[in-house]
Amino acid sequence: MTKTIFRYFFDFVEGQEQWLNEMAGKGYRLKNCGVCWYTFEQCQPGDFSYSVAFVADKSYREAKTYRQFLEQSGFRVLTKNINLNLSFGKLRWRPFAKGWGQLATLPGGYNKELFLVEKKHDGTPFVLHSDLAGQLLTVRAIRNASLWATLCLLGLFAMTFLPVLRAGVASSPWTFAGRLIAGGLGVIFALFAVRYTRLITELEEESKTLE
């Protein structure tokens, strides 16, 4: 029996990971996922554990090699998006990539910003990074991506005021809606940037004495 759940995680690493593990604990194994839905099949409760890897900052080739490595190490890997579909013609915006990689013109790594990695449960907690340095790299990548997203959304937010400033025309309801969405999302990602910056500080503090 399969079960489909529609859901989107703004808290795409920790929140999503926790939820997948809760589902597995209740006996639902992730079978497939799409832009904002997940399909589960029944399994023995606690048979599988999940870890979410942030790979949006990796090039298409780097991500592919990493995925191969994980699969060859016995894990199952599904790709998952963070981006919702923001596209203009053939040009797609990927707020989470680095620099110019943000504008994607080929499918490549678009909508594959995350790996959902599944491991058959063996009694030990499932983490992808057992060292502080590796954890720091991951957390930094997420923080930088959140900062970029915040900046871009603020830019969009500001741009909605351009017509008002230049021509003095009142904003249409659509402009208001766009402004609200850009502003709201901007705040969400700003909060993530703050949270991950705190995490970075904690890990850096720890890495002064520990490896």
Sites of contact with other proteins (CB under 8 A): 53, 66, 69-70, 72-75, 117, 124, 127-131, 133-134, 137-138, 211
In the bound complex, what is the minimum distance in angstroms from residue 125's beta carbon to other proteins?
A: 10
Q: Report how far residue 120's alpha carbon sits from residue 140's, in angstroms, rounded to the nearest whole number.
A: 28
In the bound complex, what is the minimum distance in angstroms from residue 101's beta carbon to other proteins?
A: 19
Compare residues 55 and 185 and give the one whose CB is closer to other proteins.
55
Burial 154-187 (b: 16+ CB within 10 A, else e): bebbeebeeeeeeeeeeeeeebeebbeebbebbe
Paired residues of 49 in beta bridges: 119
Compare residues 132 and 200 and give the one whose CB is closer to other proteins.
132
Compare residues 41 and 206 and give the one whose CB is closer to other proteins.
206
Burial 22-37 (b: 16+ CB within 10 A, else e): ebbeeebbbeebeeee
In the bound complex, what is the minimum distance in angstroms from residue 136's beta carbon to other proteins?
A: 11
In the bound complex, what is the minimum distance in angstroms from residue 75's beta carbon to other proteins?
A: 7
